[in-house]
Chain A
Amino acid sequence: MNRFWRWSLQWGQPAMLYQRLLRLQPWVATLAIIFLLVGGYTAFWLAPADYQQGEVFRILYVHVPAAWLSMMVYGAMVGLALLVFIWQVTIAGWAMKTFAWLGAGYTLIALVTGAIWGQPTWGTWWVWDARLTSELVLLFIYLGIVLIFDVLADARAAARMAAILTLVGSVNLPIIHYSVIWWHTLHQPPSIRGLETSMHWSMLYPLLLMALAFLLVFVWQVVWHLRCRVLMEARHTPWLAKRLRSLNQSGENG
Chain B
Amino acid sequence: MEIDQYLGVFIEESKEHLQALNQNLLVLEKQPEDIGVVNEIFRSAHTLKGMSATMGYQDLANLTHQMENVLDAIRNHQIKINPEILDIVFDAVDSLEEMVLDIESGGAGTKEVSELVSQLAAIESGEAPLQSAAAVAEEPISDTSGLILDEFELAVLRESEEKGFQNFYTKVTLREDCMLKAARVYMVFEVLESLGEVVKSNPDVSQLEDEAFDLTFEVLLVTQEPKELIEEKVLKVSEIDAVSIQNFFIDTYKHVQDEGQEEVTASVDKEKVEETTIEKKAQQSNKTIRVNIERLDILMNLFEELVIDRGRLEQIADDVKHPELHETVERMARISGDLQSIVLTMRMVSIDQVFNRFPRMVRQLAKDLGKKIDLQIEGAETELDRTVIDEIGDPLVHLIRNSLDHGVETPEVRRELGKPETGTIKLKAYHSGNHVFIDITDDGAGINRKKVTEKAIKNGLITKEQAAIMNDNQVFSLIMQSGFSTADTISDISGRGVGLDVVRNTIESLGGTITINSEEGKGSIFSIELPLTLSIISVLLVEIQNEKYAVPLSSIIETAIIPKADIMHVHNQAVIDFRGRVVPLVSLKEVFQVPEVKEETDYYSVVIIKKGDKSAGLIVDGFIGQQEIVLKSLGNYLTEIFAISGATILGDGQVALIIDSNALIK
Partners in one complex: no
